[in-house]
Structure 1
Amino acid sequence: MAKKEKNINLTFKNKKAYHDYFILESFEAGIELLGSEVKSIREGRVNLKDSYIRIIKNEVFVLNMHISYLETTHAMYRPEETRPRKLLLHRKQIDKLFEKVTKDGITIVPLKLYFNAKNFAKLQIATAQGKKLYDKRADLKEKSLKRESEQAIKNW
């Protein structure tokens, strides 16, 4: 029998966060999941695009992160796909995030969901400041110029 090949390098990035925000400081947080959700993440059924993070009663939650359930999951045990999921951080980190969000007007965004070396699901979160429209345009222009120059060097 052939062994089922595992995809060890599972990472899901939130590309929209890099487009909409200036990333200031990032943290690694554990995430509280149910068993069927872990299996769904391994299958690649995750969407971080519209998700955001809130601090509610001194606890950090990721909201609106979509994890689809598998068809093999029993109907009684299917969790809500966009339910709030608790993030596991140290108290000092939570206090630091809360201080930045309340005083400086900075937001917290999820950047990346991955499995670490110990096979735990981790969510990389970051404090971020929103970009203006002209900043987004400048980034797109810079990216296209870089792509064109690399292609010209390659074809030369």
Structure 2
Amino acid sequence: MAEGVEIVERNKKAQFEYDIEETLEAGLVLEGSEVKSVRQGKVSLDGAYCQVDRNGEMKIHGMYIKPYEEAGPFGHEPRRNRKLLLHDRQIRKWGQKAEQEGYTIVPLALYFREGWAKVKIGLAKGRKKHDKRQAIKEREMERRMEQKQSEYNF
């Protein structure tokens, strides 16, 4: 990522479970206590996904942000749906693509850019079991090649 970007959380599982076809950066609407928890890194993107609701807004579902302890009873709900900030045309375009069979919108990374919370989302197509096995084989092959190359360079 670019300068001035502080990565808080990556969704490593999404890279394995899905083939990412497109990516997009979206702003994220958070409450004050949520921002404090995210800055402390107390967030998880496992199992999270994005969906366009009836109002034409894209929201992220299933993202966990641990309640900020200092907020007391005025804290936030850990798994509430959070609004993503995108242009209407982007929401329509991605919503139509996500309606196609086998496609979903998944968050790939959560980070701060110049103090603003951002989410990198990806239009993803689910992988079959044999595709996952192939991805593992390719990753292992790359590791071995890098290992052999580093041995050769010495």
TM-score (norm 2): 0.90
Alpha-carbon distance in 1 for matches of 2:142, 2:98: 34
Aligned to 1:10: 7
Are 1:146 and 2:135 an aligned pair? Answer: no
Contact 1:31 1:123 in 2 (8 A): yes
**Residue 61 (str. 1) matches residue 69 (str. 2):** no
Distance 1:103 1:136, change over 3 A: closer
| Cα deviation, residue 104, structure 1 | 5.2
Partner amino acid, structure 2, of 1:33: L
Task: Tell me which residue corresponds to 2:34.
Answer: 37
Gap runs ≥5 in structure 1: 1-7
**Secondary structure, aligned partner of 2:109:** strand
Quote how far apart the aligned CAs of 1:155 are.
2.8
Where structure 2 has 5 or more consecutive residues not aligned to the other structure, the ranges are: none
Letter of the 2:62 partner, please give it.
N
TM-score, structure 1 as length reference: 0.89
- CA contact under 8 A between 1:67 and 1:82: conserved in structure 2? yes
Q: Distance in 2 between matches of 1:99 and 1:52?
A: 15
Q: Does 1:81 align with 2:90?
A: no
What SS does the aligned partner of 1:108 have? strand
CA distance in 1, matches of 2:22, 2:74: 37
Percent identical across equivalent pairs? 41
The count of corresponding residues between Structure 1 and Structure 2 is 148
